[in-house]
């Protein structure tokens, strides 16, 4: 009897510790998939129904991570008056709804702005008040102390503080260092195994820290530990169109990710963070023709096909150079960042319908949606730390050709493409099987993926590579599943 009781206690502890915390190793994430605005959100009668709708989409796509809790874990939304602060009163209702229902792992972005906005985009004047709020939040939701089936192990302090006059941070590097260190101490006191992310860097002109913000933060920290993970954000255009842009183009190509990652790791390693991990919590590319908006960039027109190409390249290349997690910047397009026509209104893999023409249904999938799903089907479960540059490994001396090998148990998957203007005929050394299956990464107009079986002759795969990445698998490979999930909904437009 006693042994049975002990078993049940251990079972409850295990369920509490791991329920909802699946697939921590997976690199596949998205930012703001549960964002509570837009026509699709407004088409639901309650928040739970909307969250469950997004859960189905994330599961269909193979997404394992989300960073959107910053929309609700803001100090001003949890303590709405000085009376709340003085009495230790917290409104957790909305956050509880998210935590109870979200179906993926969570990166919680913490907002430090007080209800009266007295510290608008700045360090709180009363850090004791802020620390009490943060301790209450972490105690309620961290995996060390939460009573919910879902919990949070990753906490980020602010967003893009490195841009002078940022929409997110208008204070000094010194005050950000104080906020970061105090937050780190509070989080680790409650949850020693939790990880803290420094506010993500907006990468401009190919520089991991264009205005020298983070070195100033580290200088003010001295040798005090204040974070575990560095986050940087990458926008971009299709690689062949960068050279045609007159301004702001440097840093927008997917190949710039390797330089940014290497320089950031080198800097932090030399300055007291030898075990630093790099994540990209805002990765993006678009379809359509965004207006200039707040960016000094004239964005060229891009097709859905070009967006889907870039999506694969940005994930595969980022993983290959050592980035641990990559979050696509939006699940849904047209949130009104630029009144429906700005850059971030165009980066989603589905249409929200808010600013679309009447023939575009809310919830309609872009080509990038199907490409994302194919990519996760092919690559999920890989040994992410041992992805190889196949071109270097086998001395394939052909310009503009990229091939990366993803080990999966006793097999592997190759992802290959060429950035040359014209397709290239190449020979890939390969000795594992007599046949391979090659799948193009972007579906045709009928939403089917082109697949072909190739013979391996004299330990060589012969094929043509172009701008569209292909997946090369041993033998018959895995079966391609086209998404049959119905994501479309009737909405009221703003006509």
State the CATH number of the domain containing residue 167: 3.20.20.80
3-state secondary structure of 98: helix
Average pLDDT, the chain: 87
| The token pair that represents 4 in the structure block | 């049975």
Q: What is the DSSP letter of 284?
A: -
Q: Which of 357, 380, 403 is the last residue of a domain?
A: 380
Same domain? 290 vs 356: yes
Q: What is the DSSP letter of 366?
A: P
Same domain? 216 vs 103: yes
When pLDDT is cut at 50, 70 and 90, the band that residue 99 belongs to is: very high
Mean pLDDT, residues 107-114 taken together: 92
Q: Which residues contact 353 (CB under 8 A, 6 or more apart)?
A: 39, 40, 334, 360, 361, 362, 363, 364, 491, 493
Would residue 492 count as lying in a domain? Answer: no
Measure the CA–CA gap between 353 and 361, rounded to whole angstroms. 6
Looking at residue 394, what is its pLDDT? Answer: 95
Residues 405/388, Cβ–Cβ less than 8 Å:
yes
Would residue 137 count as lying in a domain? Answer: yes
Q: What is the pLDDT of residues 31-88, one digit of tens each?
A: 988 887 777 888 889 999 999 999 999 999 999 999 976 667 889 999 999 999 999 9
Nearest to 466 by CA among 402, 389, 412: 402
Q: What is the pLDDT of residues 251-278, one digit of tens each?
A: 578 999 999 999 999 999 999 999 999 9
Concatenated DSSP letters for 162-210?
TSTT-SS--S-HHHHHHHHHHHHHHHHHH-TT-EEEEPPEE-BTTBTTT
Distances (CA, A) of 293 to 66, 276, 288, 336: 26, 34, 14, 11
> Residue 15: pLDDT above 50?
no
Looking at residue 11, what is its pLDDT? Answer: 37
Distances (CA, A) of 259 to 136, 202, 266, 283: 39, 15, 11, 15
Residues 194/187, Cβ–Cβ less than 8 Å:
yes
Measure the CA–CA gap between 257 and 265, rounded to whole angstroms. 12
Same domain? 370 vs 324: yes
- Which tops the pLDDT comparison, 482 or 285? 285
Looking at residue 130, what is its pLDDT? Answer: 97
Question: Domain containing 114: what range?
Answer: 2-380
Looking at residue 93, what is its pLDDT? Answer: 94
Same domain? 351 vs 410: no
Same domain? 98 vs 149: yes
Q: What is the pLDDT of residues 378-391, one digit of tens each?
A: 999 999 999 999 99
Residues 273/223, Cβ–Cβ less than 8 Å:
no
3-state secondary structure of 218: helix
The size of the chain, in residues, is 495
Same domain? 168 vs 94: yes
What angle separates helix 173-190 from helix 213-221, to the nearest 10 degrees?
A: 60
| The token pair that represents 167 in the structure block | 């929409």
Mean pLDDT, residues 213-223 taken together: 95
Same domain? 272 vs 235: yes
Mean pLDDT, residues 473-488 taken together: 75
Same domain? 282 vs 354: yes
Q: Which of 337, 354, 380 is the last residue of a domain?
A: 380
Residue 306, strand partner residues: none
Would residue 486 count as lying in a domain? Answer: no
What angle separates helix 93-101 from helix 47-61, to the nearest 10 degrees?
A: 30
Residues 42/354, Cβ–Cβ less than 8 Å:
no
Going by DSSP bridges, is the β-strand pair 411-418/470-474 parallel, antiparallel, or unpaired? Answer: antiparallel
Q: Which of 13-17, 65-69, 347-351, 372-376 has the highest average model confidence (pLDDT)?
A: 372-376
The mean-pLDDT minimum among 400-409, 435-444, 479-488 falls in: 479-488
Q: Which residues contact 473 (CB under 8 A, 6 or more apart)?
A: 378, 411, 413, 414, 436, 437, 439
When pLDDT is cut at 50, 70 and 90, the band that residue 131 belongs to is: very high
Label residues 311-321 b or e (16+ Cβ within 10 Å = b). Answer: bbbbbbbbbbb
Measure the CA–CA gap between 346 and 341, rounded to whole angstroms. 7
Residue percentage of the chain with pLDDT more than 70: 85
Terminus-to-terminus CA distance in the chain, angstroms? Answer: 68
Residues 465/427, Cβ–Cβ less than 8 Å:
no
Concatenated DSSP letters for 294-346?
TSS--PPPB-HHHHHHHHHHHHHHHHHHT--EEEES-SEE--STTTTSSGGGS
Measure the CA–CA gap between 236 and 457, rounded to whole angstroms. 39
When pLDDT is cut at 50, 70 and 90, the band that residue 419 belongs to is: very high
Looking at residue 352, what is its pLDDT? Answer: 79
Looking at residue 235, what is its pLDDT? Answer: 87
> Residue 427: pLDDT above 70?
yes
- Number of domains making up the chain: 2
Same domain? 173 vs 149: yes
């Amino acid at each position: 009897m006693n042994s049975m009781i002990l078993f049940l206690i251990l079972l409850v502890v295990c369920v509490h510790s791991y329920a909802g915390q699946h697939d921590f190793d997976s690199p596949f994430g998205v930012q703001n998939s549960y964002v509570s605005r837009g026509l699709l959100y407004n088409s639901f009668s309650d928040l739970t129904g909307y969250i469950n709708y997004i859960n189905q989409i994330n599961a269909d796509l193979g997404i394992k991570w989300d960073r959107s809790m910053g929309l609700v874990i803001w100090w001003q939304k949890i303590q709405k008056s000085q009376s709340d602060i003085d009495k230790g009163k917290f409104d957790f209702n909305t956050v509880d709804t998210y935590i109870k229902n979200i179906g993926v792992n969570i990166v919680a972005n913490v907002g430090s702005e007080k209800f009266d906005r007295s510290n608008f985009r700045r360090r709180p004047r009363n850090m004791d008040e802020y620390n009490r709020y943060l301790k209450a939040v972490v105690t309620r939701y961290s995996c060390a102390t939460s009573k919910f089936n879902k919990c949070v192990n990753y906490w980020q302090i602010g967003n893009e503080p490195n841009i002078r006059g940022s929409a997110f941070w208008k204070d000094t590097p010194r005050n950000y260092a104080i906020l970061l260190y105090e937050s780190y101490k509070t989080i680790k006191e409650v949850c020693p195994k939790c990880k803290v992310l420094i506010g993500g860097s907006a990468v401009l002109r190919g520089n991991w820290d264009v205005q020298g913000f983070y070195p100033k933060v580290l200088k003010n920290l001295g040798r005090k530990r204040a974070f575990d993970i560095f986050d940087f954000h990458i926008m971009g255009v299709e690689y062949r169109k960068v050279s045609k842009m007159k301004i702001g183009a440097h840093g927008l190509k997917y190949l710039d990710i390797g330089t940014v990652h290497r320089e950031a790791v080198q800097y932090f390693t030399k300055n007291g963070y030898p075990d630093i991990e790099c994540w990209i919590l805002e990765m993006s590319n678009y379809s359509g023709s965004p207006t200039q908006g707040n960016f000094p960039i004239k964005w060229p027109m891009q097709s859905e096909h070009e967006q889907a190409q870039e999506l694969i390249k940005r994930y595969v290349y980022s993983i290959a150079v050592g980035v641990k997690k990559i979050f696509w910047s939006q699940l849904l397009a047209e949130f009104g960042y630029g009144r429906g026509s700005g850059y971030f209104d165009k980066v989603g893999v589905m249409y929200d319908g808010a600013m679309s023409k009447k023939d575009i249904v809310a919830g309609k999938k872009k080509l990038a949606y199907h490409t994302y799903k194919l990519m996760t089907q092919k690559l999920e479960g890989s040994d992410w730390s041992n992805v190889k540059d196949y071109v270097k490994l086998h001395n394939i001396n052909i310009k503009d050709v990229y091939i990366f090998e993803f080990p999966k148990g006793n097999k592997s998957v190759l992802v290959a493409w060429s950035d040359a203007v014209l397709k290239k005929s190449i020979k890939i050394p390969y000795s594992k099987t007599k046949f391979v299956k090659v799948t193009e990464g972007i579906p045709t107009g009928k939403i089917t993926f082109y697949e072909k079986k190739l013979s391996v002759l004299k330990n060589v795969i012969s094929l043509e590579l172009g701008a569209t990445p292909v997946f090369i698998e041993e033998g018959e490979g895995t079966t391609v599943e086209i998404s049959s999930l119905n994501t479309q909904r009737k909405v009221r437009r703003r006509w």
